[in-house]
Amino acid sequence: MARQRKRKHVPQRTCVGCRTVQPKRSMIRLVRTPEGVQVDLTGRQPGRGAYLHDSPACWEKGLKGGLARALKTTLSPEDIERLQAFARTLQPSHADDEER
C-alpha cells in the first residue's frame, strides 16, 4: 500500500484593498507598532498586521480606510506619507488591468 503525501497547509490572507483571498506569501504585510504603521517585509514583526497585494491600485484603496480598520488604528499623516512613498516603488502588474 503506497502512502499518500500530506499536502502542506498554505496560509491564506485577505487583501484589505481589493478583498481577494490569496496565499500569505504573495502579499505584503503591514504592522501596527508603537512608532506607527510599518511595512513588514519579513512578515514576522510583532503586532497587529494586515495584508495588501503588491499592486499600487490595492494600496490606493487600502489607504482610503480599509487598512486603518484592519489595524484598528488611525493612520497619522506621517504613516500615510511613508506608505504612499512605498506604494510608489511598486510596479503595476497585469492583474491591475484585470481589475481585481
What b/e readout covers 74-98, taking b as 16+ CB neighbours within 10 angstroms? ebeeebeebbeebbeebeeeeebee
pLDDT interval class at 100 (50, 70, 90)? very low
The CA angle 92-95-100, to the nearest 5 degrees, is 115
pLDDT given for residue 95 in this prediction: 52
Q: DSSP string covering 82-100, please?
A: HHHHHHHTSPP-HHHHT--
Domain architecture of the chain: domains with CATH: 12-92 (3.30.1230.10)
**pLDDT, tens only, 28-63:** 999 999 999 999 999 999 999 999 999 999 999 999
pTM recorded for the entire structure: 0.85
How far, in Å, CA of 38 to CA of 49, rounded?
A: 10
